[in-house]
Structure 1
Amino acid sequence: MGFFSKAKKAAQDAAQQAQQAMNQGGQPPQGQAGDGYVHVQGAGPVDPAAFGGPSTAPVAENDPIWEPINGISLQDYADLAKDCQARGVNDEAGMITVAQEKGWDPADTKAALDGWVARMGQSQAVGQQFRRFLGY
């Protein structure tokens, strides 16, 4: 499974786990509003982070979640991902090789790849920004 597939699968698994946790009360969600929260009849908005999923809460521009990881920003990561996609590289080892061509340290790159995926698992805002940087 390629690196991008792993990130997508992790996000899907987190969303599915959050959905299942919300449904354990025996009452399925009544719908999903445009605010990113799942609404259950008789309850207020539920953030999937309460059940181990990525948060749907807004993230301030100065939040530490946006800080570069070992000097690699989310924009840098997206630029690397675009370059790798253009070359047909779809695994972590290949991405690290391409990053080395750019002069990036392999250990820093590995930490950044893992760190940004983890942050996407914490906050949907990070994944959304990453997709914007990719041009999606």
Structure 2
Amino acid sequence: MGLFSKAKKGMQDAATAAGMATAYDQQQAAAQQPGMIGVQGMGPIAADPALIGGPSTKPLAEDDPMLQPVNGVSLEMYGKAGVEAQRRGITDEDGMGALIEEMYGVPAADAKAALGVWIDRMKRSMVVGQQLRKHMGY
């Protein structure tokens, strides 16, 4: 690689880093707005892990569809059922479905399907996972 190519690449890398830092700053500012929920305790990550296939760190509004109930199972219900499942030693999806039916009256099949959607949402957003942990008392 020649001198000018190296210089050009260096300028492109610097521009990319500056853009990532700006995006991080915007993400942090958005998380501080009323009604927004951001990822807590992430430290100075200057890029959203979603760029490389990980869960997003972007803040979500309290009424974001990613935080809305699935098949009648809210994230809070999932968290409380998770705590009860730990207490009872329930470790499988069928057991969780039956437990949610017992606790909340949601049919076990619907509850089991909802848990799958919640897991998918957690794979896409760290906020969802952190909110679940909050409802579980962590």
TM value normalised by structure 2: 0.65
Q: Aligned-pair distance for 1:98?
A: 1.5
Q: Aligned-pair distance for 1:100?
A: 2.7
Distance 1:107 1:52 in 2: 30
Of Structure 1 and Structure 2, the greater helix share is in: 2
Unaligned runs of 5+ in 1: 1-32, 39-44
Unaligned runs of 5+ in 2: 1-23, 25-40
Q: 1:73-104 deviations in whole A, cap 9, x for unaligned?
A: 00011111111111011111211122232322
Distance 1:37 1:54 in 2: 16
The percent identity for this pair of structures is 48
Structure with greater Cα Rg: 2
Q: Which has the higher contact order (CA 8 A, sep 6+)?
A: 1
Distance 2:97 2:122 in 1: 19
Q: How many positions carry a matched residue from both structures?
A: 98
Which letter does structure 2 place at the counterpart of 1:120? M
Distance 2:65 2:44 in 1: 23
Q: Which runs of 4+ in 1 moved over 4 A?
A: 33-37
Q: 1:39-74 deviations in whole A, cap 9, x for unaligned?
A: xxxxxx211111111001111112111110011100
TM value normalised by structure 1: 0.66
| 1:63 counterpart = 2:64 | yes
TM-aligned CA distance change 1:94 to 1:50, over 3 Å: same
Structural RMSD (CA): 1.8
